[in-house]
Each structure stands twice: as C-alpha cells, then as structure tokens.
C-alpha cells in the first residue's frame, strides 16, 4: 500500500520518506500500512496547510504568488523549480499574510533555525530568490536575505562511486540482453546524470563526427561523449564494447532507455529502477555514483582535464581537478606497477547463460 503525499527518496542505498506538504520525516524502516507509519502520516496530515487564499497587496503571500508566475522562476531548471516551489509554498502558508516591507534578516534566520542544515540551505535559496524578485519588482527597498547566513552543511562525499568489484557484480548479475544492463552501461559510459541519461537517444550521435552530444538538464552546458568515433587511449574500451553489444542485442529504437511499453523512462522512475537493479545484484549504490566512477576512470587513465570536462559537461577546471589530483597521487604510489596493469579494464565479467 502507498499512501498519498509521501515523498520517497533513496540516497546511497538508504531509503527516506517525508510528507510532501509538511516536510515531516516519516518512518522508512516499516511498510506504509504499518500502524507506526500510519500514525506518523496521520499526524503530518493533521498539520496540512489551510487551502490557498488570495493574499492582499504588499504581503509576502502576494509576492510569492507573483514570483511563482514570473519569468525568473520559469527560467530555473525543472529540477530546481520543484524544491523551490515547495519552499515558497511553505513560506506562503506560514508567513503569507505578513507585509513584505516589514521582512527583516532575523525573520528569515528564525525560519531557517527550525530546519536541519541541508533543508535550511535550500530554504535560504528560496528566500534569496524571492527577495531578489521582490527587490527588482520594487516590493521592497532592500534585500533582507543579504544579511542572512546559510547553516553549515555536514561534510559528506555525496554519492559514492562504484568500485571495480561492484561494477563486475552488476555485470555478472544482468546479462547483455537485459534492458537493465543497457541502462547501466549507457549511464556508466556517458557519465551522465540520471536527469540526462533518461533522455539520451541515438539521434544525438553526430553523423559526421560520431560523438554523442547533449545539453545537460541541470547546468544547460553541453557534454560530448565518444560513440562511434576513433577512441583516445584513455577511453574505457571494455565498457564501450559492452554498451555496443547491449544495443546490438536489444535493438532499441531512437530512445535508449525505455519501459516495457517502449516509452522513455522518467528521471525518478529511472533512478529507482537502477537502484533496485543494483540491490538485486548485491550493490548498494546509486546511479549517480557511476558518474563519479567514470570521472575517476578517465583521470586514472590519464585523460587531460579538458577532455574530462568535455565528456562530463563540467564547466570549470576546479570541478574535475580533485579527480586528477587523486589519480596522480595513486600513480605516484603505484609507479610502474600501474603501467604493467592498466586500468583500462574494470574487471572480469561473465555473461549469463
């Protein structure tokens, strides 16, 4: 059973659940029909906001409504609009009737203090966007969010990259003919985010140059991935071979990752599907970890920084530099042993019979 208004999230192999409207944390270690879950969900339902009302001119609610209808808001990426809209809606429900001209930094800081670090940082971004819009629209004379501080986020490495053994385990479990294997090899080879992997098509491969080129959903920057062109020495030929074998065996249409009905998978559906596929193969990692694995593999194979940036779509050298430094340190320790055992192959794999 799945209850309505429940946001289900998987991070680093762990599941989390929240009430979509209140943001309240729900038990993730019990089924949704368990009395403990239903009790927590019912409590959050009781906190549901009152129906939306029309707010008077000059109120925070009126400014929020104007912002959500503005060109500035629509210029945000779809993935960024969703959390921003959520936070703006909460701001409306909690402070909508207050005059926006009376908004002060300590009001915003007090709102942030009620939240854990990461949600508070996201809430502050929403306040910053709202106040910038209000200032440009002359609803306020000064931006009160300028004087606020974002709480420090706990240090984390984010999504963990897949190890050589985990990549081999996935390949051992899912044969070339399985669509899950194609999704894996495509995501690993391209290093694409899930938001981009679900949109990749054969039509994005240039007929003249044999390079897969796509505009990233998150950053709007372009990524350029070798496809049928000549491969550079740092390319992972094994993964490329597996990807081409999957395409040859499965004969997909123009879209590469599709449902059983032949329709492209959504970003959320693909993320959940790949996380489930990994768990069934005994791997507790997310698909985004494959992006990190691709960058690590490129750096360890000696790819130049500009080549890594072109492949992954990163815009600045700083974004790939730490991968290069880590690879150089590893080479400094391994010395000639690495030359004798190149990392161009990621490990043994067996095809299922």
Residues 72 and 80: beta-carbon distance below 8 Å: no
Residue 304 three-state SS = coil
Integer Cα distance of 309 and 44 in angstroms = 44
What is the number of domains present in the chain?
Answer: 2
Q: The tokens of 262 are what? A: 């032949």
Residues 6 or more apart in contact with residue 306 via CB below 8 angstroms: none
Residues 196 and 288: beta-carbon distance below 8 Å: no
Name the pLDDT band for 175 (thresholds 50, 70, 90).
very high
CATH label of the domain that carries residue 199? 1.10.443.10
What pLDDT score was predicted for residue 338? 41
**What residues make up the domain containing 39?**
6-147
Name the pLDDT band for 158 (thresholds 50, 70, 90).
low
Q: Summarize the confidence of residues 28-38 as an average pLDDT.
A: 86
What pLDDT score was predicted for residue 353? 39
Please indicate, yes or no, if residue 59 is contained in any of the structural domains.
yes
Residue 173 and residue 127 share a domain: no
What pLDDT score was predicted for residue 349? 44
Q: Which residue has the tokens 């998987």?
A: 10
Name the pLDDT band for 337 (thresholds 50, 70, 90).
very low
pTM for the whole structure: 0.61
What pLDDT score was predicted for residue 157? 58
Residue 294 and residue 179 share a domain: yes
50 has a pLDDT exceeding 50: no
Residues 311 and 222: beta-carbon distance below 8 Å: no
In angstroms, the Cα distances linking 349 to 169, 170, 182, 244, 293 are 8, 9, 15, 16, 17
Residue 297 and residue 190 share a domain: yes
Integer Cα distance of 17 and 300 in angstroms = 37
List pLDDT tens digits, range 289-325: 999 999 999 999 999 999 999 999 998 998 899 899 9
Integer Cα distance of 323 and 82 in angstroms = 31
Please indicate, yes or no, if residue 155 is contained in any of the structural domains.
no
Which of 147, 173, 199 is at the close of a domain? 147
Please indicate, yes or no, if residue 351 is contained in any of the structural domains.
no
Q: Summarize the confidence of residues 262-284 as an average pLDDT.
A: 92
Integer Cα distance of 39 and 21 in angstroms = 16
Residue 76 and residue 202 share a domain: no
Q: The tokens of 30 are what? A: 């019990």
Please indicate, yes or no, if residue 138 is contained in any of the structural domains.
yes
List pLDDT tens digits, range 60-111: 999 999 999 999 999 887 778 889 999 999 999 999 999 999 999 999 999 9
């Amino acid at each position: 059973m799945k209850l309505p208004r429940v946001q289900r999230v998987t991070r680093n192999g762990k599941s989390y659940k929240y009430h979509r409207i209140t943001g309240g944390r729900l038990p993730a270690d019990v089924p949704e029909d368990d009395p403990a879950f239903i009790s927590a969900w019912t409590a959050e339902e009781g906190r549901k906001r009152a129906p939306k009302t029309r707010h008077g001119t000059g109120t925070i609610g009126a400014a929020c409504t104007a912002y959500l209808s503005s060109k500035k808001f629509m210029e945000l990426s779809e993935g960024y609009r969703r959390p921003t809209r959520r936070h703006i809606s909460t701001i409306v429900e909690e402070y909508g009737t207050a005059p926006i001209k009376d908004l002060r930094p300590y009001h915003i800081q007090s709102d942030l203090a009620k939240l854990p670090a990461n949600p508070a940082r996201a809430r502050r971004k929403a306040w910053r966007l709202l106040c910038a819009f209000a200032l440009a629209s002359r609803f306020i004379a000064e931006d009160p969010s300028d004087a606020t501080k974002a709480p420090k986020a706990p240090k984390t490495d984010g999504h963990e990259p897949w190890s050589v053994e985990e990549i081999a385990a996935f390949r051992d479990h899912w044969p070339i003919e399985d669509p899950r294997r194609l999704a894996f090899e495509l995501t690993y080879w391209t290093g694409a985010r899930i938001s981009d992997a679900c949109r990749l098509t054969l039509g994005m491969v240039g007929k003249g140059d044999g390079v897969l080129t796509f505009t990233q959903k998150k950053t709007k920057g372009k990524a350029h991935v070798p496809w049928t062109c000549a491969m550079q020495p740092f390319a992972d030929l094994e993964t490329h071979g597996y990807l081409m074998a999957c395409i040859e065996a499965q004969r997909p249409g123009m879209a590469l990752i599709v449902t059983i009905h032949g329709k492209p998978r959504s970003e959320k559906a693909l993320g959940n599907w790949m996380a489930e596929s990994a768990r069934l193969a005994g791997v507790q990692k997310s698909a985004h970890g494959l992006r990190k694995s691709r960058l690590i593999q490129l750096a360890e194979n000696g790819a130049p920084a500009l080549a890594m940036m072109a492949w992954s779509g990163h815009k600045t050298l700083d974004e790939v530099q730490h991968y290069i430094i880590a690879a150089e340190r590893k080479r400094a320790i391994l010395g000639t042993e690495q030359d004798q055992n190149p990392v161009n192959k990621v490990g043994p794999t067996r095809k299922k019979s």
